[in-house]
Amino acid sequence: MFKDVTFGQYYPSDSVVHRMDPRFKLVIAFAFIIVLFMINSFAGYITAGLFVFVCVAAAKVPVKLLFKNIKPLWFILLFMFVINVFFTRSGNVLFSFWILKITDEGLIKAVLMLIRIVMLIFFTGLLTLTTTPISLTVGIESLLSPLKKIKFPAHELAMMMTIALRFIPTLMEETDKIMKAQMARGASFDTGNLYQKAKSMIPLLITLFVSAFRRADELALAMTARCYNGGEGRTRMNPLKVSGVDYAGAVMTVLFIAAMIMFNYVHVI
Amino acid sequence: MSIKVENLSYVYMQGTPFETVAVDNVSFEINQGEFVAVIGHTGSGKSTLIQQLNGLLIPTSGRVEVDGYEISTSKKDLKEIRSKVGLVFQYPEYQLFEETVAKDVAFGPKNQGVSEEETNIRVKEAITDMGLDYDEVAEMSPFELSGGQKRRVAIAGVLAMNPDIIVFDEPTAGLDPRGRELLFECIEEVRKKGKTIILVSHSMDDVARLADRILVMSEGKLIFQGTPAEVFSEQNVKLELNAPQLALLARKLNKTGKFNIPNGVFDVEGMKNVILKELGGKN
């Protein structure tokens, strides 16, 4: 039953975006999010849209996958839209009923907000679609490593994330197996009321905890046996390398940000 | 109590690019009291096949019939079938969770709705059948036991459900030689009580020695079935199975031209007698 679940959503492909250094991708995504919320002009929206479009096209990722990210958030999007529509009181009233009033300004504001959020989801989705979870953690570790000076455990944090990611499929497989084993002993996980359902989870949870601890123990031993003693002096098998693509991406982003700042002061449209 | 499997197929993740046919149009029958072994390389579909025998997996197509009950999504039928067909998974000790051994073994019968009294009788019998001392282990935590003991407690948990058919998936994986021997003795004992045994194993020596009949799986298909003597006969070398040691010995001895050992001797004692007879006849 868990065979159908894939964790993370990395979409394997060989595009320029896939080849980019994860650190650059993280910083660019971060910069994009900040800039996105500074937009206050129509030209800004068009430029940001263009930027997203160029990135998606360069990543060679099916657009269908990006839209899939929006699906679980439809309610929040709808909620924000409605709030913006009904709570904007300024502008010309287009429609009014009882205490509800829809103004042209409110409608435009709501639509623009929606576009902003969709672009945000698209762009962060693009980051996870084109970067494996492992290289994301490597990127985060590298970006956080200056904080090591103030005793921030950047390496430990990244290692924990890596191990957690690594064990998700393993634990899922294990859950599936133990569930089946208990079902073969007559357990059922989907009948009865809430209390019975919660109780039926005990044979699953205890065994999972036991096996998680056992695996953690074995892993710690295996890591120690191979001389792991923290991040001090540890080298990487595939060190992060900055290449031409990264500079190109950085230059593009800087130009984009410059344009956005300009639009904020000089109203072209 | 028989199992009838007809044109059974199972496909994982049907309709996606990851679609894989795990079991491909398999048909066979298993009769009451038979000891049937299922062999085949890793990934040949053995595990997928046996999980359909008690409805843990619902066949993609084809049918599985256990004593007149057909496996379908009907919850009532599934409960009935799971009571008739006990399934011992690989490394069953990982499914132990209760505070005491006795409570853990009682988990199955309790789910079946068996009375308290009957449960206690069954628990005691199952633990004893698995070669453990009931009085000693009953109140212990399952996590205090040794690996081999844990495994036998887990198997007792399936036996206590009183199934007519018991399916073992690699029951001796990871056990030491003594543990293996003990476990097979227990399985033999259970079999003598008239239970049907289905054993999935990679150990050709054990399979040849114990089974009445062997099903050979390869890439999801049932490519051969027959007695151990038939399966491990020289004509079947093309199946690329690792023959039992004694079958190899017989082949090598026969090749020298000095012996003529019949096919199908898979126990040490029997082989000793055959060889002595052959030698005696020559001298």
Q: How far apart are CA B61 and CA B59, in angstroms?
A: 5
Of A184, A207, A211, the CB nearest to B87: A184
Are the beta carbons of B51 and A180 separated by less than 8 Å? yes
Q: Contacts of residue A192 in chain B, CB cutoff 8 Å?
A: none
Backbone dihedral angles phi then psi of residue A201, each to the nearest 5 degrees:
-80, -20
pTM to 2 decimal places:
0.75
Q: Report chain B's C-alpha Rg in angstroms.
A: 21
Please give the structure tokens belonging to residue A266. Answer: 């000089």
Phi-psi region of B15 (alpha: psi -120 to 50; beta: other; left: phi over 0): left
Task: Give the pLDDT confidence score for residue A3 in this predicted structure.
Answer: 42
Which residues, other chains included, contact B108 with Cβ-Cβ below 8 Å and sequence gap of 6+?
A185, A186, B157, B158, B160, B161
Q: Which residue of B has its CA nearest to A182?
A: B95
Query: What was the pLDDT predicted at A2?
Result: 42
Q: What is the mean pLDDT of each run of 10 residues along chain B (283 residues)?
A: 90 81 93 93 91 91 89 80 92 92 94 93 95 94 92 95 94 90 92 94 90 93 91 74 85 88 87 88 54
Mean per-residue pLDDT for A121-126? 88
Helix segments in B113-146, DSSP class H? 116-129, 134-137
**d(CA A4, nearest CA chain B) in Å:** 7
Which residue's entry shows tokens 């979409």? A11
pLDDT, position B36: 96
What are the tokens at A102?
């829809």
- Check CB contact of B51 with chain A, cutoff 8 Å: yes
SS3 B196: strand
Residues paired with A95 in a beta bridge: A102
Q: How far is A159 from chain B (nearest CA, A)?
A: 27
Q: What is the mean pLDDT of residues A174-198?
A: 87
Average pLDDT in chain A = 85
Question: Is the pLDDT assigned to residue A12 strictly greater than 70?
Answer: yes
**Separation of alpha carbons B207 and B200, rounded Å:** 9
Question: How many residues would you count in chain A?
Answer: 269
- Minimal CA separation from B62 to chain A, in Å: 20
- Cβ contacts below 8 Å, chain A against chain B, sum to 62
* For residue A7, pLDDT beyond 60: no
pLDDT computed for residue A241 by the predictor: 85
Q: How far is A88 from chain B (nearest CA, A)?
A: 46
Residue A233 at interface with chain B, using a CB cutoff of 8 Å:
no
Of B86, B94, B108, the CB nearest to A178: B94
Contact flag A187-B97 (C-beta cutoff 8 Å):
no
The DSSP 8-state label assigned to residue B71 in this structure reads P
Q: Residue B69's beta-bridge partner residues? A: B66
Residue A138 has pLDDT above 70, yes or no: yes
* H or E element in which residue A220 lies: helix A202-225
Flag if A206 and B161 touch (Cβ within 8 Å).
Answer: no
Q: Which CATH class is domain B1-83+167-173+197-241?
A: alpha beta
Sign (positive or negative) of CA dihedral B107, B109, B114, B116 = negative
The reply to whether A180 touches chain B by the CB within 8 Å rule is yes
Q: Six-digit token pair at B233?
A: 């006969």
Contacting B residues, span 153-192, partner chain A, CB-CB under 8 Å: 157-158, 161
Most confident option among A125-129, A203-207, B72-76, B123-127: B123-127
Please report residues of B whose CB lies closer than 8 A to that of A213: none
Q: Residues of B with CB below 8 A from A210's CB? A: 94, 97, 143
B9-23 pLDDT, tens digit per residue, is: 999 888 777 788 999
A180–B56 CB contact, under 8 Å: yes
Q: How are beta strands B3-12 and B61-66 bridged, if at all?
A: antiparallel
Domain boundaries, chain B: 1-83+167-173+197-241, 244-283
Predicted pLDDT at B25? 93
Tell me, what's the pLDDT at A6?
44
Q: Does A169 touch chain B (CB under 8 A)?
A: no
Residue with tokens 């570790």: A141
Distance CA B169, CA A11 (A): 36
